[in-house]
Structures are given as C-alpha cells and as structure tokens.
Structure 1
Amino acid sequence: MIPLRLMETWAHGQDVFDALGVVHPPTSRLRHVAWLGVAGRELSFYAAELPTPAESFRVELSGPDGEIWTWGPEYAVQRVEGSALDFCLRVTHRRSLAETNLTAVGEDAGKWLEIARVFL
C-alpha cells in the first residue's frame, strides 16, 4: 500500500505544480510510480474491458539521473520506451499520450499506452 500512497502524493502534487505553472523536477523516487505503472498493465486492459495480451512486455525508461530502468524480458516484442517522467505522467493520467515522448513497439504496447492506468 505504501507505493500506492507515494503515487497518489506525487500525482496530486503534480496537479498543484501544473496549476501554478511551476516545473516539478523529477527525482529517482519516480521509480516507485513507474513500477506501479508497469505492474498495472493487466489492470489497464481489465478496466478497458479488453483481453490482457499473452505476450511479454519490455519497458525501458530513462530515469531522471540518466539510469535506464527496465522491466520484462529483453527479447519481448511488445516494448515501451521513453522517459520515466513521461511514463509516470501517462499512467497517472496527468498527461495524454500525445503530450509525451513515449514510444511503443507492437500493437499491444501501443494500446497499453492509450489505456494505461495505475488505479481504477
């Protein structure tokens, strides 16, 4: 439950930064939010009333300090890549997919980014 509270605090904090027109500098603590986003892939498809893809997914995100965060097997055909900040903003519905620089390889990965969420 702690990562969920961290995600909510970060996301609602982002709302305040956005309302004030102030940049919210990302930190490596975003890794908790990104992890929840990755873990929420099945939830995303469930909430959209779509079947969960059987294929493995690979997620490669560049963290704020330049470190690459990865989840999933290297050989996965379905891939999501981009900045951790963009991914976190997307999965918490703080930005539309068009407002990010995230890329998807594979039809299912593309669909996931369209419907991504970390909460119902």
Structure 2
Amino acid sequence: MATKIRLARGGSKKRPYYSIVAADSRMPRDGRFLEKLGSYNPLLPKDSEDRIRMDAERVKHWLDLGAQPTERVARFLEAAGLREKAVRNNPNKAEPGKKAKERAAERAAKAEAASAE
C-alpha cells in the first residue's frame, strides 16, 4: 500500500483548517485516512505555536514505514527538524517574462539614444 502523509481539508468556506494525516494515496483528499497526525491552521500568524501541531513520534513512525510526505507536509517536517532540508532550486522563477524583457530592452535603447545625442 502506497502511504502518504498529507493534508486533509476541513473548516468552512473561506476558513480553511487542515488535518495532517497518514492515508493510502488512492483515497480522496478528504476521504478515509489511517491516522491523524496533527493539524495546520493557515489563518493563524506564522509565529503562533498553534499554527502547526503534530505528533512527532507518530510522524517518525510513519516515515520509518515508508510513508512519503507531500511537498507542503515535507516543508513542515523540515521546519520541525524531523526531515533533512531538501535543496529546491527554480532559477526560472525569478527571471522576468518575455514582455518585460522586451520593455527593458526598449528602455535601454532609448536611454542609449538619449545619451548619444
């Protein structure tokens, strides 16, 4: 069975609240799960203790059994020190788009022409 540690959404419309659960990867996001491991409340301030709560011992147990955390849960585990920090690199994210590059080239050409006169 492919097991994942992931978020299951709860809460009402516009008021999200997530449970951190160990679940079979074939089950729906908010469907059946094997065990609840913690909770995540994104509406609380980032420095709040209650924003992310999880049972570290049970999370370690599921990781030892081969459960794979999702990207967001992996970040929570890295912050808690339960998993080593993965190297993430997206060099294209900071690069401006095609139109922005064209505008910058036009500005540079205009500035060069103005300084040449």
TM over 0.5, yes or no?
A: no
From the two aligned structures, give the one with the greater helix fraction.
Answer: 1
Task: Tell me which interval the TM-score lies in, with the shorter structure as reference length.
Answer: under 0.3
When normalised by structure 2's length, the TM-score is 0.26
When normalised by structure 1's length, the TM-score is 0.26
Larger radius of gyration: 2
From the two aligned structures, give the one with the greater strand fraction.
Answer: 2
Which structure has more relative contact order (CA 8 Å, sep 6+)? It is 1
